[in-house]
Amino acid sequence: MRKDRDSWIDMAPDAIIGYSTLVLAIVCFLLALVVIVAIVRFIVGVGAA
């Protein structure tokens, strides 16, 4: 039990860095999708005109 608790505490810094990186990557991906949607909307709008 003590060893298990230590290992979770030991992993905390790596976990924080890992999840921060992952969440940042997700946010960047979402922003990229926002840009893609804007481009598609523009193309469809131009096409319709």
Partner 1 sequence: MWQRLSLYDLRVIGHYLGVLILFTTIGLAVPLLTSIIFGEWQATERYFLTIGIFLIAGSALRFLRIQPGRLSRQQAFAITGLSWLVLAFFAALPLYWSGHYASYLDSLFEAVSGLTTTGASVVQDLDHLSYSDNMWRFMMHLMGGLGLVVVGLSFGLFGKGGGASLFTSEGRSEHVVPNVVQTTQFIGRICITFIAISTISVGCISMTIGIEPARAFLQSFWVSISAFMTAGFVPMSQNIMYYHSISIEFILVIVMLLGSINFTLHAEVIRGRVKAVFEDTEVRYLIAWIVLIVIVLAASLSGSRLFSNLPNIERRGLFMVFAALTTTGFQNVTTSQLAAGGFSSGAFLVLAILMAMGASSGSTAGGIKINRIAILSKSIVATLKETLAPDTARIVTSYNHIGRRPVTPDIVREATTVLILYGVTYVIGALAGIASGFEASQAIFESVAMASNGGITSGIVAPGMAWPLELFYLFEMWAGRLEFVTLLALLIQIVTSVMPSDLVGTMHARNEERKRRS
Residues that bind partner 1 (CB under 8 A): 11, 14-15, 17-19, 21-23, 25-27, 29-30, 33-34, 36-38, 40-41, 44-45, 48
- CA 24 to chain centroid, in Å, comes to 4
CB of 11 to partner 1, least distance (A): 6
For residues 23 and 28, what is the distance between their CA atoms, to the nearest angstrom?
9
Give the number of residues written for the chain. 49
Residue closer to partner 1 by CB (options 6, 22) is 22
For the CB of residue 24, give the shortest distance to partner 1 in the complex, in Å: 10
